[in-house]
Structure 1
Amino acid sequence: MRAPFATRADRTRGRLVPESESANRTPFQRDRDRIIHATAFRRLQYKTQVFIYHEGDHYRTRLTHSLEVAQIARSLSRSLGLDEDLAEALALAHDLGHTPFGHAGERALQDGLAAYGGFDHNVQTLRILTRLERRYAAFDGLNLTWETLEGVVKHNGPLRGPYAAGPHAAAGAVPAEAIAAYDARHPLDLDTFPGPEAQVAALADDIAYNSHDVDDGLRAGLFDEADLAGLPLVGPLIGAVRDRWGDLDRPRLAHEVVRRMIDVMITDVLAETRRRIAAAQPASAEAVRGLPAPLVAFSDEMQAHDRALKQFLWTHMYRHWRVNRMTSKARRVVKDLFALFHAEPNTLPDEWRALADAPGTARTARVAADYIAGMTDRFALDEHFRLFDRYSKT
């Protein structure tokens, strides 16, 4: 049964460029389909989540992560009576702006663009969806609905106003020129929380990467079950699995623990969100946006568990010496590519060189960053070899 505060596809605020809607799909179904068919979505298959693509076939990539987020988002939305298609579209789109090599590549582009407005993968997602995808005759980007773009931009919460969240909150302002420019043409209500489906997609992202990073970290041998035993969420689940199944091998143990983690976190989100629904009684998606706090959330206890798990993963996985070596190499690859293309835009492929300006300018810096951010891990490594290895013949 559809909740009264669910986003209504038949009441969408529309698209920047008006289009005749499909007779067979809702506007949000159409958004989802456009995202799946986008070039940027296909590239997620070979973009790092934590491990570079060649380190193993079974580790998560940005694509498999996005699919897991979409599955969780649909499940949560179904339980809460929300629009599943909108939640799925937001889940599938949320990581499109990530660079090759994950956060290591992003930090390298942040450094290179420090004097030119910076780089942020959430902002880059909006640039892809509204400008950089060039597939349609009538417009640049995918011309998605207001609700999908609002949810993507406010993935981490409001971008200005008293409830602003994320790394740009201290400034209390829109985090990038790209968002400000789009908002001026198609206002996204940047000072409110997003709609309920976007809030679901954001929580699904947390649930997915916490659980699969535990799985990948165990699989890679970066830590073992003894290291996890003291964590408030994971430790009791390991004990429960051991009590039920005895001395399982690591792959089975990891799977049994991770699927229980996902179930516990989903159950917590549903219980806490229903408690907040009962207290706030929102009558529409607009009412959800106007609340002083998110409607979809973990309980206080689960938020504490979430912080403890993130701190563990930061120490034992993201800063493990094996991962540090990979991220060091990745930063150098991206840094080298950016420096070359910024200084010598004539080395860019023709279609990108046509967009650039003179060497060393702000426009050329942004074009170089857009080109690099769109690369897969594999292509970035190959491009670096072609440009910097003296014996490369291409």
Structure 2
Amino acid sequence: MSDPIFAAIGLGRSALAPFACDPAASRGRLFPEPDSPTRTPFQRDRDRIVHSTAFRRLKHKTQVFVAYEGDHFRTRLTHTIEVSQIARAFARALRLDEDLTEAIALVHDFGHTPFGHAGERALHRRMERFGGFDHNAQSLRIVTALERRYAEFDGLNLSFETLEGLVKHNGPMLGPRSTWPGEVPRPILEFDARYPLDLDRFATLEAQAAAISDDIAYNTHDLDDGLRAGLIELDDLRELELAGSILREVRARYPTLDDARTVHEIMRRHITRMVEDVIASTLRRLEEDGIEMVEDVRTAGRTLLCFSPEMDELARDTKRFLFARVYRSPSVSRVMMRAEGLVEDLFQRYVAEPSQMQGGWSREAEAMDEARLARRVSDYLSGMTDSYAVSEHRRLFDATPELR
């Protein structure tokens, strides 16, 4: 793409830090396409992601609480938008490419099943003999194969940089610097053999911004939703060093403030403390490691955009609290166990009767071998919204569990 076009849309190279990902130097796409005269490659990726079917489905997929429990709890879509907002703040502060950062943040949860991690656990059990199920690998399948909207290719044909950010936002997956626990999911290895994503190297700072923003968003907003659900009380936050110190600060400054406003003041400060810590920590690491260009980021010996050691421990403390008091609470666990059973029921029925899959998914399914059929069924199930999964279960079974 020519420099005049970049200048015209306000993304001249001078606006970016030297270690940012330059859209003019993108490594391109699996299927070559002409440059857009009005958008950078990363703006184009972001737009394709937002206009995809998978993005719209996030509206009706569980984050922590299923939709039937209230209209104000976060869904995968609202969580994704919050992650994107935080990630863009990092990109702006560090002079990274905001469009690439946003694209990776917006696509990072595409592969999540209905009912959040409950659905993922159910599918992983059923797919264990065939390479398992991993939501990150499923996100890659969606954007490279399962979205079928364009005349010339399957998937969204995203740029290399967006794909590597989607796959490796948490760090290298192969080699001595690998941060991946266990075996790399088969769908990722299969795509990498076709279109190498340099799985032994770090992704860009833009991808790292999306990853840490995910942690900040759910650490903060799951506290908020836990309070809203009545699983924790305001005074319970005193058990946490970070949230507890903010609670004391807000009460000291606004002693007569009602609980709803108090919660909001705590959450906004919670995000701000974490964001400011990450920016300061990242600037230190960039200087310590002598990072001067994007290639230095990819070959670095560690993640560069991250919490300080002190804030990392506070974030871990918050996560432990959320697991004990929210994610594993009896009411949430009861609903999620029922949801797991519902997804397993559907998987078994579709494998036994592939013709029950709708929307063209049953085409040629009965002629597939066991492994291909299982993957077809998991693709179909993982794309479902919560409400569609429930309606399908009611169609196929005499009794459907109440997810309450």
Partner of 1:64, secondary structure, is helix
Deviations 1:44-93 (A, max 9, x none): 00000001112111110000000000000001100001000000000000
1:137-152 alignment, distance < 5 Å: 137-152=151-166
* Cα distance in structure 2, aligned partners of 1:253 and 1:356: 54
Look up the match of 2:135. 121
- Kept in 2, the 8 Å contact 1:344–1:359? The answer is no
Partner of 1:215: 224
Deviation string for 1:103-137 (max 9, x for gaps)? 00000000110111100000000000000000001
Q: For the Cα contact (< 8 Å) 2:113–2:381, is it kept in 1?
A: yes
Q: Is the 8 A contact 1:357 1:363 kept in 2?
A: no
When residues 247 and 325 of structure 1 are mapped into structure 2, their CA distance, relative to the original with a 3 A threshold, is: farther
Where do 5+ consecutive residues of structure 1 fail to align? none
Q: Which residue of 2 aligns with 1:59?
A: 73
Corresponding position: 1:162 with 2:162: no
Name the residue aligned to 1:259: 268
Gaps of 5+ in 2: 1-14
Q: Which residue of 2 aligns with 1:312?
A: 321
**Alpha-carbon distance in structure 2 between the residues aligned to 1:307 and 1:156:** 16
Alpha-carbon shift at residue 360 of structure 1 (Å)? 7.4
TM-score by length of 2: 0.93
Shift of 1:362: 0.9
In the other structure, the counterpart of 1:20 is 34
Please point out which of 89, 106, 116 is paired with 1:102: 116
CA shift for structure 1 position 155: 2.3
2:174–2:180 Cα contact (<8 Å) kept: no
1:298 paired residue number: 307
The Cα offsets for residues 166-219 of structure 1, whole Å up to 9 and x where unpaired, read as 332xx4xxx122111211121101001111100010011111111100110011
Is 1:186 aligned with 2:200? no
1:231 pairs with 2:227: no
- AA matched with 1:333: L
- Letter paired with 1:332: G
Q: Secondary structure at the match of 2:355?
A: helix
- In the TM superposition, residue 246 of structure 1 has moved relative to its aligned partner by 1.1
Distance 1:82 1:210 in 2: 24
Deviation at 1:249, TM superposition (A): 2.6
Hey, what's the Cα distance between the residues in 2 that align with 1:390 and 1:47? Answer: 22
Is 1:278 the counterpart of 2:304? The answer is no
Task: State the 1:234 CA deviation.
Answer: 0.7
Partner of 2:337: 328
- Equivalent residue for 1:374, pick from 357, 373, 383: 383
User: 1:53, 1:166 → 2: CA distance?
Assistant: 32
Contact 1:342–1:359 (CA under 8 A) maintained in structure 2: no
SS of aligned partner of 1:352 = coil
User: Sequence identity of aligned pairs in percent?
Assistant: 55
Corresponding position of 1:74: 88
Normalising by structure 1, what TM-score?
0.96
Instruction: Specify which of 235, 250, 255 is matched with residue 246 of structure 1.
Output: 255
Match of 1:153 in 2: 167
Partner secondary structure for residue 360 of structure 2: helix
- Change in CA separation of 1:151 and 1:248 when aligned onto 2, cut-off 3 Å: same
Matched length: 386
Report deviation, 1:22.
0.7
Is 2:360 the counterpart of 1:346?
no
**Paired amino acid for 2:176:** P
What is the CA distance between 1:358 and its match in structure 2?
4.4
CA contact (8 A) 1:31 1:145 kept: yes
Task: After superposition, give the CA deviation of every residue in 1:286-320 in whole Å (9 maximum; x if it has no partner).
Answer: 11010000110100001100110000000000001
How far apart are the structure 1 equivalents of 2:363 and 2:130? 20
Could you say if the C-alpha distance between residues 350 and 245 of structure 1 is closer, same or farther in structure 2, counting changes exceeding 3 Å? closer
